[in-house]
Structure 1
Amino acid sequence: MTPWSGLLRRDHLGSQADRATFRTLHTASLASPPLRGGLTSTAAERSLKFLRALLGAPAVAMTDTSRLLAWDGGRSGHGAHAPRLAEATLGHGRTVVLGRAEMECGDPGCPLREAIIAPLDVEEKVVGTLQVFAPQASAGLVRATNEVARWVSGQLELAELDASRTRLMEAEVRALRAQISPHFIYNSLTAIASFTRTDPDRARELLLDLAEFTRYSFRKHGEYTTLAEELRSIEAYLVIEKARFGDRLSVTVRVAPEVLPVVVPFLCLQPLVENAVRHGIEGKPGRGEITILAQDADRECVVTIEDNGIGEDPERVRQALAGDVALDSVGLANVDERLRTAFGDEYGLVVETAQGAGTRVTVRLPKFQPGVHL
């Protein structure tokens, strides 16, 4: 029998070049997460030791446009000069090599005799520098510094994209909040007032439902929530609308317990239900029905919101989803875009409607999506 140790020959781990490549990629992967937070002191401090390992340099530093963010390696006193050393590169955006005279080092025994100052770019704008200090700035070290600086710039670009995406999502949620109908608030308070003398207990319950709905809609934290939280707010909204419509509105809600923890974009379903009431049921004579189903579909959750209201011209809906603000009074395009941004283009809204035939909106949600969490 072949001993187990014989199965662990060194060549099973690849050639020396393969192992060096693996070490390089692994080191870069360790530096990446802090940089994805943007160009900050914390990001610089946490990433520089890995960047120094990549370059094999005695010392490295990182600056923004005005100050030293972090230093890693020996002779940290040179860090005080880092902002001044960055000035030329910040001005023209090119890598420079500085000698001992420019470094203003008064220690004749200092091993850091030359410095390489490489720009860090985000969206074609120099936002900082990567500085490498060594006994000699060899051609190979200059090339390596430039490559690492470009890689760091790429991570900072991704951080800016993440920040831009977050700002966009927050702006879209603010836009949705702004679209919460003042008429709904007015009608809700009118309905509650009508019960204050005839049924005080119900008036109190309706006030609590209105408070729950507004608390959720105007909360400050997080771009995501759970399906359970979203449905709880919808339930409060529909209780108020049922009080206003009376017997004219019937609501059916069926939810599979397995899908309640699914993470969804904040306010991704409430506008669809509001659309069913305002544009489906409100203009319909006779009894209106709204059905909300949330079903377990293996790796997905499928939510359908259906009404038997007056329906809509399919072309008008298509134009609203395409971004025609004049035709999109409840933010359908906003919801569609946020779903696609969070989960991918295959997860946008599917709207089935025709004039006089009601409307059904289907929303597919993955049970798990990388990067989507509370």
Structure 2
Amino acid sequence: MRQGLNEETARKTAEIIQKIGDVPAVAITDRERVLAFIGPGCERHPPGREIATRATHQVINTGEMKIAEKQADLQCPVSDCNCPLASAVIVPLKLRDEVIGTIKLYRTEKGPIPAVTVKLAVGITQLLGVQMELAALERQSQLVTRAELDALRAQINPHFLFNTINTITMFIRTDPETARRLLIRLAAFFRHAFKRTGHFSTLEEELECVEAYLILEKARFREKLQIVREVDETLLDYEVPVLTLQPLVENAVKHGIMPKMGNGTVSIKVSRENEQMAVEIADDGVGIPEDILPHIFSPGFGSGSGVGLSNVHERLKNLFGAEHGLQLDSGQGKGTRIRFMLPLLMQSQNSRGGVSLEA
């Protein structure tokens, strides 16, 4: 869906949904046509044809989900055929609150749609909406600076996304409710990462992004990954550079805890020091070898870690001065601690989203 809504992307998406949703048939439409149909269904509604069912038009017009528990509820004008589809959940696909199509999960028996199927349909639609928002953002690059887009892209590790989807697929069979919650968290993570158009978000929003990331990683690593949080709640409304904390936490998990034998702990501490915000991300993982430490902030250095750390380090220095860059302390076999200081910033009520120093 990053390439937009068309027949090719819709077909690939429908195949994935049918597999993880364990439903007989899946259809995806835009506002006018059927873009993809996977599974048993009426041959009179192939991809490329105009939408026939009035139930689908109703969802497009109202922007509200519809559950059809029997074939008559679909309000299909074609009656002289042997269509096997007896019930469905139809969910609007939205881009920035505008309905651009629908996703339909069909069943071949009539009756109530299982709650897990409904929740999964909603979660999938939200995630696809986020992916399409990202595509729209890339097409409208004038909304953000090139540096910001590069920074955002650098933080989203494709292996993290692939592994998370695999984890969700596993839970679909064994624990559908957990799968639904993880899907919603994944959508929330991407929404935060890509919807921002400025340099700043609140500390609370940044921590929500970190929490979404950690919940997804905890689903993979279970007890191996422990989290300790110590946050001064009086600082939650203050502004911090967008996507500052999450890359540091990801670095601690990926390069500190994952290679370690046994369990590990990542600690997140945000406190007030000398009228500044002090942020510290620490882990008790494998640490960084001494010969690597001098190069750790070099752009592109290492197996992915240099990109995220150098990006955050340079952005902090460019925004606030050299003294606000990352301070790193690490010992091989002892773990790593990253710390930085931020001025206390509050969103100005008179600068259209600008940021001003607290008086």
Give TM-score, length-normalised by structure 2. Answer: 0.54
Distance 1:224 1:170 in 2: 16
User: Residues 169 and 223 of structure 1 are in contact (CA less than 8 Å); yes or no, is this contact kept in structure 2?
Assistant: no
Report the CA distance between 1:330 and its aligned residue: 3.9
Query: How big is each residue's C-alpha offset from its partner over 1:288-309, in whole Å with a ceiling of 9 and x where there is no partner?
Result: 1111011122411111111111
Work out the CA distance in 2 between the residues paired with 1:332 and 1:238.
18
| 2:321 aligned partner | 344
1:317 Cα deviation after fit:
3.1
- Once the two structures are superposed, residues 31-65 of structure 1 have per-residue CA deviations (whole angstroms, 9 ceiling, x without a partner) of xxxxxxxxxxxxxxxxxxxxxxxxxxxxxxxxxxx
Match in the other structure for 2:344:
367
Matched AA of 1:240: L
Q: Which residues of 2 match residues 243-322 of structure 1 at below 5 A?
A: 243-322=219-298
Residue matched to 2:118: none
Shift of 1:179: 4.3
Aligned residue pairs total 209
Question: Which of 319, 322, 332 is the equivalent residue of 1:355?
Answer: 332
Conservation of the 8 A alpha-carbon contact between 1:281 and 1:310: yes
Instruction: Name the SS for the 2:355 alignment partner.
Output: coil
What is the distance in 1 between the residues matched to 2:300 and 2:190? 27
Deviation at 1:170, TM superposition (A): 3.9
Q: CA deviation at 1:232?
A: 0.4
Q: Retained in 2: the 8 A contact 1:176–1:331?
A: no
**In terms of Rg, which structure is larger?**
1
CA contact (8 A) 1:169 1:338 kept: no
User: Matched residues, percent identical?
Assistant: 43
Q: How far did 1:360 drift?
A: 0.6
**SS of the residue 2:243 aligns to:** coil
TM-score, normalisation: structure 1: 0.52
Counterpart residue identity of residue 355, structure 1: Q
More helix, by proportion? 1
The answer to whether residue 191 in structure 2 is matched with residue 215 in structure 1 is: yes
Name the structure 2 match of 1:242.
Answer: 218
Structure 2: distance between partners of 1:201 and 1:315: 46
For the 8 Å contact 2:300–2:307, the answer to whether it is kept is: no
Gaps in structure 2 of 5+ consecutive residues: 1-141
Give 1:339's aligned amino acid. L
Give the AA of the match of 1:362: R
**Counterpart amino acid of 2:198?**
G
Distance, in Å, in 1 between the alignment partners of 2:151 and 2:198 is: 16
The verdict on how the C-alpha distance between 1:169 and 1:319 changes in structure 2, with shifts beyond 3 A counting, is farther
CA contact (8 A) 1:230 1:266 kept: yes
Conservation of the 8 A alpha-carbon contact between 2:238 and 2:345: yes
Q: In 2, Cα distance between the equivalents of 1:253 and 1:287? A: 17
2:308 to 331, 337, 343: 331
Tell me if structure 1 keeps the 8 A contact 2:168–2:179: yes
Question: Judging changes above 3 Å, is the alpha-carbon distance between structure 1 residues 198 and 167 closer, same or farther for their aligned structure 2 residues?
Answer: closer
Question: Where does residue 192 of structure 1 map in the other structure?
Answer: 168
SS in 2 for 1:321: coil
Contact 2:298-2:306 within 8 A present in 1 as well: no
The amino acid of 2:229's aligned partner reads V
Q: Which of residues 176, 186, 204 in structure 2 aligns to 1:228?
A: 204
